[in-house]
């Protein structure tokens, strides 16, 4: 897109240097500031380490599943009539880059409030229909009605007031635009209590202490996975624990403590997944009903809805 055309999408002057523009890198809110700082730490460290193709492959396949696309070709087909796209809260930008490749006719933006926006711009400077902005996705500098597709994947619960962010994103949609969004699901009671405890406690952890804690969680996840033991658990409604056959690592993971481990990921990728969970202060969780209400309050119609243990996802339109 020509610079002049690009400017028409913004509601205030935004200066690009190549494929990157700095709009805002500081929040007024303590928790959002801490959240940005912890994601800057995570992404800069992960970018410096070599990543496995298995990590990105897993994430992309998960996106297809979460939003009901049967295959990558199905997603490509869906993007065919989407001309202006944004990955709101893009992290290192691999999903924005993926969409730019699947939809070469489109202009794709990635926005992130952490240093990741600049890192992503550097990583993907070779893709010429892709731009990155460092900005708060609750206050993006775009003209209302700009986007045909907004992907806000694994992000909105990290923003200061998630429901307000959702309304802001809804107002950036074109008449036929669609908003695909993911929120963390509420989990079993013991897991929620431990999560709440650590979200506050980790405020006082240095980055170094937080990485050490994440490493211990990875190691626990690894040892439990390697046990390769399953058992039948009864329903325990008072704790919100659903009965069924569980692998022991999954049982502890879903009901007591996030101790993520994926055998094909590097130690850095596994640690960063655990870091990502307990480090940011902003990390709300929701029931399906609570999430659905955002769309009705924003005047959006839900075309697709899915709930799984980790999250609820929906695609909604005006
Ligand atoms: C768990 S990561 C997900 C990144 C990416 N969507 C992905 O799926 O790989 C959450 C991202 O949201 C970003 N984020 C949190 N609050 C934000 C805000 N208010 N505005 C923009 N980005 C935000 C963080 O910096 C982080 O990169």
Q: What's the pLDDT at 53?
A: 74
- CA dihedral (122, 127, 128, 133) positive or negative: negative
Contact 185, 311 (CB under 8 A): yes
Residues 46 and 165 occupy one common structural domain = yes
Protein residue with least CA distance to atom 10, ligand 1: 155
**CATH code, domain with 123:** 3.40.50.150
Query: Do β-strands 173-184 and 311-317 pair in parallel, antiparallel, or remain unpaired?
Result: antiparallel
Do both 156 and 249 map to the same domain?
A: no
Residues 212, 306 within the same domain: no
Q: Would the CB of 153 count as within 6 Å of ligand 1?
A: yes
DSSP 3-state assignment of 262?
A: coil
Separation of alpha carbons 216 and 89, rounded Å: 27
d(CA 79, CA 165): 23
Is 296 found in the same domain as 272? no
3-state secondary structure the chain: CCHHHHHCCECCCCCCECCEEECCCCCCCHHHHHHHHHHHHHHHHHHHCCCCHHHHHHHHHHHHHHCCCCCHHHHHHHHCCCCEEEEECCCCCHHHHHHHHHCCCCEEEEEECCCHHHHHHHHCCCCCCEEEEECCCCCCCECCCCEEEEEECCCHHHCCCHHHHHHHHHHCEEEEEEEEEEEEECCCHHHHHHHHHHHHHHHHCCHHHHHHHHHHHHHHHHHHHHHCCEEEECCEHHHCECCEEEEHHHHHHHHCCCCCCCCCCCHHHHHHHHHHHHCCCCCCCECHHHHHHHHHHCCCEEEEEEECCCEEEEEEEC
Q: How far apart are CA 132 and CA 96, in angstroms?
A: 9
Among residues 268, 277, 214, the alpha carbon closest in space to that of 51 is found at 268
Instruction: Give me ligand 1 centre to Cα 164, in Å.
Output: 16
pTM of the entire structure?
A: 0.95
Q: 193 and 182: one domain?
A: no
Residues 117 and 150 in one domain: yes
Name the residue range of residue 248's domain. Answer: 189-278
Ranges of residues in the chain with a pLDDT under 50 are: none
Ligand 1 contact via 182 beta carbon (within 6 Å): no
Phi/psi of residue 24, nearest 5 degrees? -155, 130
Q: Is 137 in the pocket of ligand 1 (CB under 6 A)?
A: yes
Q: Is the CB of 102 under 6 A from ligand 1?
A: no
Of ligand 1's atoms, which has the minimum distance to the CA of residue 27?
19
Instruction: Tell whether ligand 1 has an atom less than 6 A from the beta carbon of residue 265.
Output: no
Give pLDDT, residue 18.
93
Please report the pLDDT score of residue 3 as a whole number. 64
Q: Are residues 177 and 203 in the same domain?
A: no
Assess whether 157 and 249 both reside in one domain. Answer: no
305 and 219 part of one domain = no
Asked if residue 296 and residue 203 are part of one domain, the reply reads no
Domain co-membership, 235 together with 257: yes
Name the residue at shortest CA distance from atom 26 of ligand 1: 91
State whether 66 and 213 are in the same domain.
no
What span, in angstroms and rounded, lies between the C-alpha atoms of 11 and 143? 5
- The whole-angstrom separation of Cα 235 and Cα 52 is 38
Residues 171 and 142: their CA atoms lie apart, in Å, by 10
For atom 25 of ligand 1, the residue with the nearest CA is: 114
Please provide the size of the chain in residues: 318
How many structural domains does the chain have?
Answer: 2
Distance between CA 22 and CA 112 in Å, rounded?
A: 10
């Amino acid at each position: 897109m020509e610079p002049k055309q690009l400017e028409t999408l913004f509601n205030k002057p935004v200066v690009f240097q190549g494929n990157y523009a700095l709009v805002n890198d500081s929040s007024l809110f303590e928790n959002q500031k801490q959240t940005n700082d912890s994601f800057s730490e995570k992404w800069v460290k992960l970018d410096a380490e070599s990543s496995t193709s298995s990590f990105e492959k897993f994430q992309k396949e998960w996106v297809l599943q979460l939003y009901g696309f049967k295959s990558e070709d199905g997603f490509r087909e869906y993007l065919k009539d989407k001309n202006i796209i944004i990955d709101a809260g893009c992290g290192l930008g691999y999903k924005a880059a993926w969409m730019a490749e699947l939809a070469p006719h489109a202009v794709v933006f990635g926005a992130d409030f952490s240093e990741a926006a600049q890192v992503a711009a550097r990583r993907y400077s070779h893709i010429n229909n892709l731009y990155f902005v460092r900005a708060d996705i609750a206050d993006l500098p775009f003209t209302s009605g700009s986007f045909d597709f907004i992907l806000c994947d694994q992000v909105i619960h990290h923003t200061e007031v998630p429901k307000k962010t959702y309304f802001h994103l809804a107002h950036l949609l074109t008449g036929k635009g669609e908003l695909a969004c993911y929120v963390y699901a509420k989990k079993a009671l013991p897991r929620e209590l431990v999560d709440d405890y650590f979200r506050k406690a980790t405020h006082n952890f240095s980055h170094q202490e937080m990485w050490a804690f994440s490493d211990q969680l990875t190691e626990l996840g690894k040892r439990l996975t390697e046990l390769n033991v399953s058992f039948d658990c009864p329903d325990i409604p008072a704790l919100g624990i659903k009965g069924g056959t569980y692998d022991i690592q999954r049982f502890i993971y879903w009901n007591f403590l996030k101790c993520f481990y994926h055998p094909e990921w590097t130690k850095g990728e596994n640690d960063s997944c655990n870091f990502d969970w307990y480090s940011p202060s902003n990390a709300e969780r929701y029931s399906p009903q609570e999430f659905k209400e955002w769309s009705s309050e924003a005047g959006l119609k839900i075309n697709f809805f899915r709930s799984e243990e980790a999250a609820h996802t929906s695609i909604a339109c005006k």
